[in-house]
Amino acid sequence: MASWRTPDSLYPYGCPRVGDRAFGATLKGLDKHRCVDCSDIVTGVPPKSFGYEHLGGPYYINLARQVKFNSPRTDIDNDRTQAEKEYIEKYAWRIGDVPLRALADHAPVNYV
């Protein structure tokens, strides 16, 4: 929709990769932001190998619930590893909780 009638800014939350490089080119001049909650699995699909890309650098919500812009990949990977470990220890085994942090982190409440 943003490519039909270009807004000033785009703020997707927990969004998958939605287009290829050509699609991204249709959004020139658009102020692009994207929010990623820690281990949110949806933000990693479809795979890059399919030709899909994200638009703009991420505002990454880390394990400590701090928002960091364009964190280094190694920092994100280390944070996600720690988050997954803590989730397994505290929540994954409980009845009513999802078994993986990657699924839990896509819940809208975590983006509030």
Spatial contact of 61 and 34, defined as CB atoms under 8 Å apart: no
Q: In 3D, which of 98, 104, 88, 109 has the Cα closest to residue 38? A: 104
pLDDT (0 to 100) of residue 2: 54
pLDDT (0 to 100) of residue 56: 84
pLDDT (0 to 100) of residue 1: 55
Segments of the chain scoring below 50 in pLDDT:
none
Q: In 3D, which of 89, 42, 35 has the Cα closest to residue 62? A: 35
Q: What are the φ and ψ backbone dihedral angles of 71, each rounded to 5 degrees?
A: -60, 150
Q: In 3D, which of 36, 29, 38, 30 has the Cα closest to residue 12? A: 36
The pTM of the full predicted model, rounded to 2 decimals, is 0.84
3-class DSSP state of 61: strand
